[in-house]
């Protein structure tokens, strides 16, 4: 079963991805609740794999908590906010 320390290491490496998965799912749910067909939305979570801001402080972490969207078709009918 492993030592408590090995489980702690595994949990720490797994935890950020779970958080980013939840964030991606929440974003998808938001879009679906506003009329977007859920089958048209694909979520991908990168966790700590693709940071925008380097650093180990709250400012860097806040910048890295983000959603990115890629329009694959129909973008010509979108309007800028």
pLDDT digits (tens, 9 = 90+) for 3-26: 555 544 554 555 556 788 888 899
* Domain edges within the chain: 4-77
46 and 20 Cβ atoms separated by less than 8 Å: yes
Give 31-46 pLDDT, tens digit per residue: 999 998 888 888 887 7
Question: Cα separation of 16 and 46, whole Å?
Answer: 9
Contact 21, 45 (CB under 8 A): yes
35: left (phi over 0), alpha (psi -120 to 50) or beta: left
Is the pTM here over 0.75, yes or no? no
């Amino acid at each position: 079963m492993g030592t408590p320390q090995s489980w702690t290491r595994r949990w720490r490496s797994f935890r950020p991805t779970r958080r980013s998965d939840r964030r991606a799912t929440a974003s998808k749910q938001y879009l679906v609740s506003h009329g977007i067909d859920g089958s048209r939305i694909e979520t991908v979570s990168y966790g700590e794999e693709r940071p925008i801001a380097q650093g180990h402080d709250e400012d860097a972490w806040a910048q890295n908590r983000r959603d990115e969207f890629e329009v694959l078709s129909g973008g010509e009918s979108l309007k800028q906010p």
